[in-house]
Amino acid sequence: MEEKKNSKNSILVVLLGIALIAIIIMGVFIYKLTNERDIELQRATDLQAEANTLNNTVSDLQGKIDKVSELIGSDTSKDNTSDSKNEVTKDTVNNDISKVSNDDVVKENLQKYLNLIGALAGSPRSVLEELGLLKFDDYSGEQVDVEGVPYVTTKIKYSDFKNAMLQYMSEKCFEEDFSRFYKSFDWVYYRNSGATGRAFEVLSVIKINDSEYTAKVNEIMDDGSKEAVEYKVKVVNNNGKVVIDSCE
């Protein structure tokens, strides 16, 4: 009996040990599972936070992109409007001479044009002096022959000379009335010739239409006497400036 009792006790001890070991193993396993679950939960929380941050960043960037697009669209609209206005203004200036012409402007430019005509009647050099491009006492130029005709050299750029003339007359008028007395070699060469000059006094201009005027002018003779003459004047718009196109 005693042996059986001891045997049962031994078995119980073994079973108890096994159960204890099993409990320990299960505890360790459960701990690991719980720890891994906590780690995964923390990772999921961190990932969700990162996702939220990225979403916020994307939203901010999209908002900035939208603002930039709006600004670009607004600037483009302004530029188009400005270009449209500029085109309208340019067309108006080029085609509607009535917007920029008036009697005083025509009278002033006609007087300057006739002064240049009178100067040319004296000599081509006098035109340069009338424009202020050549001093009266500047005789530093050299005489050269161009196709058998004597010309005098200057240090005046031909482009400057022509631009100065076009302040008062059209290019057609310049070519017909003046250009043949000058040569362009980048610098102005003027024909070396001279005669008695002429003088004019513009008394009044009367508008016929937007491009035509009649002008009452005194032609001043060498002895100082005056002769009243009526001229028919045509004007054109040259880049927003009224200039003489013809004077008969």
Domain ranges across the chain: 1-95, 101-247
What is the average pLDDT across 84-90?
A: 45
Q: Is the pLDDT of residue 88 over 50?
A: no
pLDDT per position as a tens digit, 178-211: 999 999 889 999 999 888 889 999 999 999 998 9
Q: 36 or 201: whose pLDDT is higher?
A: 201
For the domain made up of 101-247, the CATH class stated in words is alpha beta
Separation of alpha carbons 108 and 115, rounded Å: 11
β-sheet with 212-220: strand ranges across: 199-209, 212-220, 226-238, 241-247
Q: Is the pTM of this model over 0.85?
A: no
φ/ψ (deg, to 5) at 131? -80, -10
Separation of alpha carbons 240 and 91, rounded Å: 10
Our CA angle for 157, 160, 165, nearest 5°, is 130
Q: Is 148 helix (H, G, I), strand (E, B) or coil?
A: coil
